[in-house]
Amino acid sequence: MVTTTCPYCGVGCGLDLHIKDDYIYRVTSDFNNVVNQGNLCVKGRFGYDYIYSDRRITSPMIRKEPQEAGKRVQAFDMKDWVEVSWDEALDYVAKRLVKIHQRDGANALAVYCCAKASNEDNYLLQKLFRSVFLTNNVDHCTRLCHAGSVVALQMAIGSAAMSNTAAEVIKSDCFIVTGSNTPENHPIIALQMKAAVEKHGAKLIVIDPRKLELCDYSDLWLPLKPGTNVPVFTAMANVIINEGLINTKFVDDRTEGFSEFKKSVQEFTPEYAENISGVEQDLIVKAARMYAEAQRGAIYWGMGISQLAHGTSSALGLVHLALLTGHVGREGTGLNPLRGQNNVQGASDMGCMPYHYPGYMEVDKKENAAKWENAWNMESGSLSLDKGLTTTEILSSVGEDGVRALYIMGENPMMTEPNLNKTKKHMEELEFLVAQDLFINESGAYADVFLPATSWAEKDGTFTNTDRRVQRVRKAIEPIGQVRGDWEIICDLAKRSEELLERSRSTFWRYNGPEEILQEMGGVVPEYRGISYKRIDKVGLQTPVLDDKHPGTPFLFDKSFPSGRAKFFPLKYVPVHEAPDDEYPFILTTGRLLEHWHGGTMTRNSKLDDLYPEARVEVHPIDAVRMGIDDGDAVEVGSRRGKVVLRASVTKKTSPGVVFIPMHFVEAAANLLTIDALDPQAKIPEFKACAVSIKRVDKELLPDRTVRLDRGRW
């Protein structure tokens, strides 16, 4: 048996892999595990069989026909590829990347790091592109999930991580869950939330357009229209201020900007918020009082807050509530964005963002660049001080004078980007594309070279969960076929690239194992300095861990904020970019399901796919009657960007005027419909709100479920 960490959501559950003859045949969990107490969701317990899928690629591959910019096509069929040796594949990648770098400059290259990969893998990939190719065009999926939360928290308090431990919810006497379908997206945290209500008497406030399972446990449900978070949260702040419910000492001692903020909230009356959001003003008042009067109030939120063109403002609205009441800096309180992927917190910590080195050191500051130039044995002044392109900007910048080459590790932009028809055109225009993954997914099918990597069960390393807990990932089985560890692939590619560039830093790409990689990073980043594999052998440690005696930090900001004083920011209501009209009368919101995950690369190559085999659109019964739609009917959902055909689920889970489509199904890809409007500060797309039409169509138009075997031919 091998103990490791789950490769799915940000909860970071401990797994015990039962192995016989180098084959995983069962997964359990220790009841003493501090994160999940032996509980596992369906993905954690059964979703490992994709490792053994016959669709997995286990040898390096190069396209038979060279691809030209503007004429690039998807290739899923193996007859379009040829197996090659690792030497041939990596030599080819290095030569092409170096050629483009020398011809067009550093910013002609870009890389997508991966929130599914380990800390060590991600640290090395951003190091490769920064120190070898001298570009900050480095990003990962945080741009598509919690970028709005990250920017808001950094603006307000100087830190972007979850402030408390999820399990502390049992210490809360009131907590808010908003923009999060926690039972499906973070099932084990949802169990802890339910226990807080049922066993400890905590009061729960749910703020969401959909009537989710947690609503059955809540004292209040505020069913707001998608994209109206700012009016609702700021109206709650209005009530807290005007009824004298603020924690005056906390506001005076630890914040700034309150006077100006107080003036700005006066227009956000509960009545004003009701007119915009549809939430009854009495509910807004009750929610404000319930949270403010709690001894320990906490806020948990998901991507229903951040995935908007005003996602930063939405998250700031929540920050303001915590600052007004002093519900931060203590156990059972806090500002807690629930991270979507297993290592999105770690990938962010490792510097996989265009504006930050590891440890959130800003790239445009010389003193920060100097630290990494010293660590990476570079000449002073070598690293770029220019902020790089975000994920959402990289593909839109593809062209002769922009990005020419893209390296993708484990991501799938052809499923996860908004407005996929536009994304498709950008992918076709790339001059060179490398995919490093387990499967040839919708994005990898455009690649010139495919580099097969190990799964989480075939490698050693660490993940950092949503609690900031750094935990071990252990090799349980031997790598299948010729697959290699991500960090080994990156090091080999870096050595070859530096030789072509006639540099002599190859010793800085030699590691005896992933622990040395983490130690290199921790030598510069104080928050990880005290972490070693020995110290986290049985129980992970929560960052910051400042030295080898430091016990870790379950909750943050007990005495101060990284920014000194926390800041209030007056907010304005900005409507969603695309409101419903006569032609497109419904609002589409998107999200995830319990049985599936992200772009589907893992779960749709698992037997989990049999549990939820096809996409469905949720339609409220009132709308279904009006549109003449019955449960199970085939319907066409269309937007100004595309259309999909799928079955309808008539359910009160959604609200009148709002339809919901999960993001996992290539046969009816929700992101063909979504809009690519961006938050101006966080550059995150508005996945959670766009205008769509819906009509009943013939069932013969439904896509064949088996189209997923071809992956992506819409």
Task: Tell me the average pLDDT of the chain.
Answer: 95
Domain spanning 586-709: CATH 2.40.40.20? yes
pLDDT of residue 220: 98
- Binned at pLDDT 50, 70 and 90, residue 711 comes out as very low
Mean pLDDT of 1-10: 96
In sequence order, what are the beta bridge partners of 527? none
* Total residues found in the chain within this entry: 714
Phi, psi of 473 (to 5 degrees): -120, 130
- In this structure, the number of other CB atoms found within 10 A of the CB of residue 367 comes to 8
- pLDDT over 60 (residue 712): no
d(CA 446, CA 433): 7
Residue 257, pLDDT > 70, answer yes
pLDDT given at position 706:
63
Contact 428, 72 (CB under 8 A): yes
Question: Using 50, 70 and 90 to split pLDDT, how confident is the model at 129?
Answer: very high
Mean pLDDT over residues 198-227, rounded?
97
d(CA 123, CA 463): 12
Residue by residue, DSSP assigns 296-333 as SEEEEE-HHHHSSTTHHHHHHHHHHHHHHHT-SSSTT-
Residue 701 amino acid letter: L
Contact 541, 531 (CB under 8 A): yes
Amino acid code (one letter) for 258:
F
For tokens 């700034």, name the residue.
256
Predicted local distance difference test score (pLDDT) of residue 171: 97
Structure tokens at 663: 């993001």
**pLDDT above 70 covers what percent of the chain?**
98
pTM reported for the whole predicted model: 0.96
pLDDT one-digit tens code per residue, 486-504: 999 999 999 999 999 988 7
Q: At what angle do helices 514-522 and 119-127 cross, to 10 degrees?
A: 70
Helices (H), 417-504: 420-429, 486-500
DSSP state of 132: I
In the chain, % helix, strand, coil (3-state, to 5) comes to: 35, 20, 45
Decide if 292 contacts 240 (C-beta within 8 A).
yes
Give the whole-angstrom CA distance, residue 632 versus residue 117: 38
pLDDT for residue 707 is more than 70: no
C-alpha to C-alpha distances, 556 to 42, 147, 465, nearest whole angstrom: 32, 20, 15
pLDDT at 507: 66
Element (H, E) at 42: helix 42-46
| Mean pLDDT of the 66-86 span | 93
d(CA 562, CA 292): 24
Q: What is the largest CA-CA distance in the chain?
A: 71
Rounded to the nearest 5°, which phi and psi values hold at 316?
Answer: -60, -35
**Structure-token pair, residue 61:** 């591959």
Q: What is the pLDDT of residues 275-286, one digit of tens each?
A: 999 999 999 999
Is residue 526's pLDDT more than 70? Answer: yes
Fold of 61-76+94-143+344-522: Rossmann fold (3.40.50)
Residues above pLDDT 90, as percent of the chain: 94
User: pLDDT for 556-607, tens place per residue?
Assistant: 999 999 999 999 999 999 999 999 999 999 999 999 999 998 889 999 999 9
**Mean pLDDT computed over 150-163:** 93
Q: How many Cα neighbours within 13 Å face the side chain of 667?
A: 19
Q: Are the beta carbons of 88 and 60 closer than 8 angstroms?
A: yes
Token pair for residue 389?
A: 């392109």
Quick one: three-class SS letters along 238-280?
HHHHHCCCCCHHHHHHHEECHHHHHHHHHHCCHHHHHHHHCCC
Query: E strands along 392-500, which residues?
Result: 405-409, 432-437, 449-452, 461-464, 469-473
Cα end-to-end distance, the chain, whole Å:
42
* Structure confidence at residue 705 (pLDDT): 67
Q: 411 near 141, Cβ under 8 Å?
A: yes
What span, in angstroms and rounded, lies between the C-alpha atoms of 62 and 678?
A: 35
Rounded Cα distance, 274 and 281, in Å? 6
pLDDT at 713: 36
What is the three-class DSSP state of 420? helix
Topology adopted by domain 147-338: Dimethylsulfoxide Reductase; domain 2 (3.40.228)
Contact 648, 616 (CB under 8 A): yes
